[in-house]
């Protein structure tokens, strides 16, 4: 059986191939987005664990009264120099 309009058949064939390629690309993008979402949620969970460990660390709370009077004047000295240059 002969095709009535060969140009129309070629157009529909090319369009079908193009749509299939777009669908495959969309599936790949969605899969990448899901992997990225899982990676971000794991990183946030690990960050929460690290923050909890830092909160429970009493060494910082004990050392701060001794270290801060030494560190703060040094920080303010360099901060004043930078602000004067601007």
- What is the Cα–Cα distance from 42 to 59, expressed in whole angstroms? 28
Which of 22-26, 48-52, 57-61 is modeled with the greatest confidence?
Answer: 22-26
Per-residue b or e along 11-22, where b marks 16 or more CB atoms closer than 10 Å to that residue's CB: eeeeeeeeeeee
Q: Stretch 67-85: mean pLDDT, rounded? A: 73
Which single residue is written with the structure tokens 């369009």? 15
Q: What is the pTM of this model?
A: 0.50
Task: Say how far residue 21 (Cα) sits from the centre of its chain.
Answer: 27
Residue-wise pLDDT tens digits, 25-51: 999 999 999 999 999 888 888 877 777
């Amino acid at each position: 059986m002969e095709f009535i309009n060969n140009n129309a058949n070629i157009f529909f064939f090319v369009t079908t191939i193009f749509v299939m390629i777009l669908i495959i690309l969309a599936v790949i993008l969605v899969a990448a987005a899901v992997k990225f979402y899982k990676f971000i949620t794991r990183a946030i969970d690990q960050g929460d664990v690290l923050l909890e460990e830092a909160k429970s660390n009493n060494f910082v709370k004990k050392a701060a009264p001794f270290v801060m009077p030494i560190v703060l004047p040094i920080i303010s000295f360099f901060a004043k120099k930078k602000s004067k240059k601007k």
